[in-house]
A and B are shown apart, each in its own frame.
Chain A
Amino acid sequence: MLARARLMFRSTAVRLSALYILLFALCAAFLVFYVTAMSERLLAQQTRQSLQEEVSDIQRAYERGGINLLLRMMERRARQPGANLYVIAGPNGEMLAGNVASVQPGVLDDQGWTDIPFTYEPYAEVDRPGWHLATANVTRLDNGLRVMVGRDLGDPSRFRGIVRRALMVALTIMGVGALVIWFGIGRNALKRIDRMSAASQKIMAGDLSQRLPVGKSGDEFDRLSDSLNAMLGRIEKLNEGLRQVSDNIAHDLKTPLTRLRNKAADALDEDREEVRRVALEGIIGESDQLIRTFNALLMISRVEAGSIAAEMSEVDLSAISADSAELYEPAAEEAGLTLTTDLESGLVVNGNRELIGQAIFNLLDNAIKYAAGAPGETGREAKIGVHLVKRDGTFRLSVCDNGPGVPADKRGEVTKRFFRLDESRSKPGTGLGLSLVEAVMELHGGSLELSATHEDNPEAPGLTVTMVFPEPKS
């Protein structure tokens, strides 16, 4: 329990609330003292004012009716409940009349207000025996008599006592309440942290599908859990990608490697120099293809990991599209295709020129590869095109062909690593081209869209691959 309490005190929330309580208590204490002092001053002012009035009354009574009237008036007033203090003393300070047994010596000597509260002994007061504090005004009459009108100060100090007691009670309640809330919050926070660590332990143990618990309140803890969960999601996706890559490598590279090995074994057995040479060249070609595959795989995973993100600059999509078309035009022509372009000019994005270039090259490679074999019976010549338009806040760079296309239900799959349509297995290629294009688009915050170029022509629908870039905010 002690250890738990200590642990709790270490938590930020608890420490903060303790600090708040302390500050709040100090403020409250100051406020109470200030209020008390102010009310005391107000009270004293009122006391003086009423005493002053009485002194005036007394003086007027004396002037009108002499000592007799004065005495009668004072007697009457002294009998009223909660009466003030009245003393009539002789010229030498001996007390002649009044409702006070004795006063502190010296009080009656000076005229005017007493500077500090003095003590006095009331008459036969059973409920309040002993000496009391009072404030008073002393007046000298023209016959040498001294008249004192005062008020007991017992009430103001009692008032102060009540206020201070109330303050103590309030502070105690506040403290206890804070402790309870403190305990509640601290415990709650601790529990949530415990739950979070338990979940993290499971994740560390290898279960990346675990997620941190998220409550409904949307407070700081929930927001933290949310972002940690998003991070876990990304990690899981990357991890998944990695596993997929290694699976793919295992499955898809074993075949060419085996083929390579067999060719090498054949070449070793071959005595005829010429045949051997051809076999060796075949091995080089095969290895070349393997290296390309490896390079492409590496490239994709690096792009997916976003590690090239640092190398971003302004890239002129229009220029890069024109460049690519120019680069591929002879190759297209040789394959018996016409390459047309329709490029909006001046479209600039923030990106990596090399990667965007490579992506367009991949699309053009594909387009040439598949459009070249397009069936000619429709009478339409085989065509490929590069288009760049700005539409709905996006820059759409598309490469289209009028080849056999990709069936709608397969379009989601062709971007997967090593995925190849059955019809295209006979064509050279790594099965990684579109995967790279998709990864490049993801890196640029865009997307990849596949559609048919000619929906109305089931013979040769063709394929249009569009790289959709978000328009940069200026």
Chain B
Amino acid sequence: MMETSVHYSAATADSHSAKNAADAIVPHMKILVIEDDLEAAAYMTKAFREAGIVVDHASDGESGLFMGTENAYDVMVIDRMLPRRDGLSVISELRKRGVNAPVLILSALGQVDDRVTGLRAGGDDYLPKPYAFSELLARVEVLGRRKGAPEQDMIYRVGDLELDRLSHEVKRAGKDVLLQPREFRLLEYLMKNAGQVVTRTMLLENVWDYHFDPQTNVIDVHVSRLRSKIEKDFDKPLLKTIRGAGYMIKDEG
């Protein structure tokens, strides 16, 4: 099963990263991958590097903990089941030692309550195996940017599009854009992660609060409705579909 996802994601990652590597969405992001499956780790490392991310790899819990404590990483990707020290214990130990870098937990367990325990242990995001690499990459990029993300900004801006988080007003080129509450949250999430790929699963998680893979086009229809509202009367497209991965809102300048 792991094999399936690896090969599957290889192709996706290539198409995605080829498109984005040049953009250098997150310049010189440095991440740590703690994963004991060497084949999966080698694949992940290669794919991350192609996406312009600097990767260190540790193959067990103890050395992962050591590397995570000694070096400063933007994001850590930690498998839940590791030799010598369990992934969750690595995370809680890192947190105890004052390492605050965001952590993405990879898990073969993939149950709803596993996700909850993982996040409770100090993880910031959770991805069950098998996953598509594009999904992993998108999440790592979002996590890596979180540090500098304008959580407290009350107004998000992308090009001439403006979203006021307090008054719930959206304007494009000064003109009001009327959105449904859900569309507003969708746009808010996309703009919060402007310039980054956001997958359908991430949208379902963050906008609707359901944690599974949407099997059909339900999310796409919502996005295209939103797109028509913010782009209908304007020339310049802002909300792009990234094939095989998800969506990205970006001002091409």
Q: Which residues of A does B touch, CB under 8 Å?
A: 280-281, 283-284, 287-288, 290-292, 294-295, 298, 302, 307-308, 310-311, 323, 326-328, 330-331, 333-334, 352, 354-355, 357-358, 361, 365, 368
On whether the beta carbons of A291 and B4 are closer than 8 Å, the reply is yes
Once the chains bind, are A284 and B112 in contact (CB under 8 Å)?
no
Neighbouring B residues of A281 by C-beta, 8 Å = 11
Q: B252 an interface residue at 8 Å Cβ cutoff?
A: no
CB of B22 within 8 Å of the partner chain: no
Q: Is B8 an interface residue (CB 8 A)?
A: yes
What chain A residues lie within 8 Å of B211 (beta carbons)?
354
The answer to whether B210 touches A328 (Cβ under 8 A) is: no
A357–B112 CA distance with the chains assembled, in angstroms: 12
B contact residues around A352 at 8 Å (CB): 112
Shortest C-beta distance, A174 to chain B (Å), equals 60
Residue among A291, A311, A368 making CB contact with B112, cutoff 8 Å: A311
| Chain B positions within 8 Å of A295 at CB level | 110, 130, 213
Give the contacting residue for B221; candidates A288, A310, A331, A357; CB below 8 A.
Answer: A331
Closest chain B residue, CB of each to CB of A292: B215
Cross-chain contact B130 with A323 (CB below 8 angstroms)? no
The answer to whether B152 has its CB under 8 Å from any CB of chain A is no
Extra contacts, 10 of them, besides A288-B8, A291-B130, A331-B217 (Cβ < 8 A), are A281-B11, A283-B11, A291-B5, A294-B130, A307-B111, A326-B182, A327-B222, A330-B222, A331-B218, A365-B216
Residues of chain B lying within 8 A (CB to CB) of residue A355: 112
State whether A334 and B221 are in contact (beta carbons under 8 Å apart), knowing that A323-B208, A365-B216 are contacts in the complex: yes
A268 CB, nearest partner CB in chain B, Å: 14
User: Can you report 10 A-B residue pairs in the complex whose CB atoms are below 8 A from each other?
Assistant: A284-B11, A287-B4, A291-B5, A292-B213, A308-B111, A311-B112, A327-B218, A330-B218, A331-B217, A331-B218
Q: Are B4 and A310 in contact (CB under 8 A)?
A: no
Which of B130, B210, B217, B218 contacts A358, CB < 8 Å?
B210
Q: B residues 195-220 with Cβ under 8 Å of A? A: 208, 210-218
Closest B residue to A283 by beta carbon equals B11
A302 to B218 alpha-carbon distance, docked (Å): 25
On whether A311 and B4 interact (CB within 8 A), knowing A284-B12, A326-B182, A354-B212, the answer reads: no
Output the nearest chain A residue to B10 by Cβ-Cβ distance.
Answer: A284
Q: Judging by beta carbons under 8 Å apart, are B221 and A308 in contact?
A: no
Binding site for A on B (CB under 8 A): 1, 4-5, 7-8, 11-12, 110-113, 116, 130, 132, 182, 208, 210-218, 221-222, 225, 244
The distance in angstroms between the C-alpha atoms of A284 and B11, with both chains bound, is 7
Check if A358 sits within 8 Å of B212, measured CB to CB: yes
A466 to B92, CA, bound (A): 44
Residue of B nearest to A307 (CB): B111
How many whole Å from B248's CB to the nearest CB in chain A? 20
Dominant secondary structure of chain A at its interface with chain B: helix
Q: Are A354 and B5 in contact (CB under 8 A)?
A: no
Shortest CB-to-CB span from A372 to chain B, Å, is 12
Are B215 and A365 in touch, CB under 8 angstroms?
A: yes
State in angstroms the CA–CA spacing of A294 and B42 once bound together: 24
**Residue numbers in B under 8 Å from A310 (CB-CB):** 113
Q: Which of B7, B112, B116, B222 contacts A287 (CB 8 A)?
A: B7
Task: Write out the residue numbers on chain A whose beta carbons fall within 8 Å of the beta carbon of B12.
Answer: 284
Contacts of B216 in A (CB 8 A): 331, 365, 368
Which residues from A are CB-within-8-Å of B1? 294
CB distance from A276 to the nearest CB of B (A): 12
Q: How far is the CA of A288 from the CA of B214 in the complex (A)?
A: 12
Bound form: Cα–Cα A287–B221 in Å: 23
Task: Decide if A302 touches B111 in the complex (CB within 8 Å).
Answer: yes
Q: How far in angstroms is the closest Cβ of chain A from B186?
A: 11
CB neighbours (8 Å) of B111 from chain A are: 302, 307-308
Residue of A nearest to B223 (CB): A330
3 A-B pairs with the lowest CB-CB distances in the bound complex, closest first: A330-B221, A311-B113, A287-B8
Q: Does the CB pair B116–A311 fall under 8 Å?
A: yes
Residues of B within 8 A of A288 (CB): 8, 132
What CA separation (Å) do A410 and B217 show in the bound complex? 28
- Is there an interface contact between A280 and B11, defined as CB atoms closer than 8 Å? yes
> Which residue on chain B has the smallest CB distance to residue A433?
B215
Residue of A nearest to B109 (CB): A302
Give the distance in Å from the alpha carbon of A284 to the alpha carbon of B211 in the complex. Answer: 23
Distance A127 CA – B94 CA, assembled complex (angstroms) = 106
Chain A's closest residue to B183 (CB) is A330
Chain A nearest CB from B234 CB (Å) reads 21
- Chain B residue at minimal CB-CB distance from A352: B112
Given A327-B208, A331-B216, are A298 and B11 neighbors across the interface (CB < 8 Å)?
Answer: no
**Neighbouring B residues of A292 by C-beta, 8 Å:** 213, 215
Task: Please pick, from B110, B217, B222, B225, the residue contacting A298 in the complex, using a CB distance under 8 A.
Answer: B110
Q: Which residue of B112, B218, B222 is within 8 Å of A354 (Cβ)? A: B112
Q: Give chain B residues whose Cβ lies under 8 Å from the Cβ of A328.
A: 218
Shortest distance from the beta carbon of B212 to any chain A beta carbon, whole Å: 6
Q: Is the CB of B8 within 8 A of A291?
A: yes
CB distance from A38 to the nearest CB of B (A): 72
User: Which residues of the partner chain B approach A283 to less than 8 Å between Cβ atoms?
Assistant: 11
Q: How far is the CA of A328 from the CA of B220 in the complex (A)?
A: 11
A102 to B: closest C-beta gap in Å: 101
Given known pairs A308-B111, A311-B112, A358-B212, the reply for A284 and B218 (CB within 8 Å) is no
Closest A residue to B221 by beta carbon equals A330
Closest to B216 in A: A365
Could you tell me the distance between the alpha carbons of A308 and B116 in the complex, rounded to whole angstroms? 12
Give every chain B residue within 8 A of A294 (Cβ-Cβ): 1, 4, 130
Judging by beta carbons under 8 Å apart, are B11 and A357 in contact? no
B185 smallest CB distance to A (angstroms): 12
A290 (CB) vs chain B CBs: closest residue: B4
Query: What are the residues of chain B within 8 A of A330 when measuring CB–CB?
Result: 218, 221-222, 225
A64 to B: closest C-beta gap in Å: 110
Q: Are A357 and B210 also in contact (CB < 8 A) when A291-B4, A294-B1, A311-B113 are?
A: yes
User: Do B113 and A284 touch across chains, with their CB atoms under 8 A apart?
Assistant: no
Q: In the complex, which residues of chain B have a beta carbon less than 8 angstroms from the beta carbon of A308?
A: 111-113
**Could you tell me the distance in whole angstroms from the C-beta of A27 to the nearest C-beta in chain B?**
57
CB distance from B205 to the nearest CB of A (A): 11
Residues of A within 8 A of B116 (CB): 311
